[in-house]
Amino acid sequence: MATLQVRDIDDRLYDFLKVSAKLQNRSISQEVVTIIQNYLNASSGGTGNATLEFISLTGAWNDDKNAEELIADIRKSHKQSHRFGVKNGLFD
């Protein structure tokens, strides 16, 4: 594993890192690595909005129908049938 050494850090920045690391139950080194990872992951082409990114990955459903029309279509597609062909059965 590589080693990174950073020199001449402002005292206030170091104190901030120390407090942040303590709040996350990490060492200062672990906290710095986490901050760098989070920054690089966030700047690697993401939209910045997790919801929009998720929707773009899932191929969101586009339809001109309103909710009532969609519900009506779903209800029309349902059939009243007996799943197992047994009347008065357990799964009737």
Instruction: Note the pLDDT tens digit of each residue in 32-82.
Output: 999 998 888 876 665 567 777 777 766 556 778 888 888 888 888 876 655
Predicted confidence (pLDDT) at residue 19 exceeds the cutoff of 90: yes
User: What are the counts of helices (DSSP H) followed by strands (DSSP E) for the chain?
Assistant: 4, 0
User: What count of Cα atoms within 13 Å lies in the side-chain half-sphere of residue 9?
Assistant: 13
Q: For residue 26, what pLDDT is reported?
A: 93
This model's pTM is above 0.75 = no
Q: For residue 82, what pLDDT is reported?
A: 57
Q: For residue 91, what pLDDT is reported?
A: 52
18 vs 61 pLDDT, higher one: 18
Rounded mean pLDDT, 82-86: 58
Rounded CA-CA distance 83/92 in Å is 7
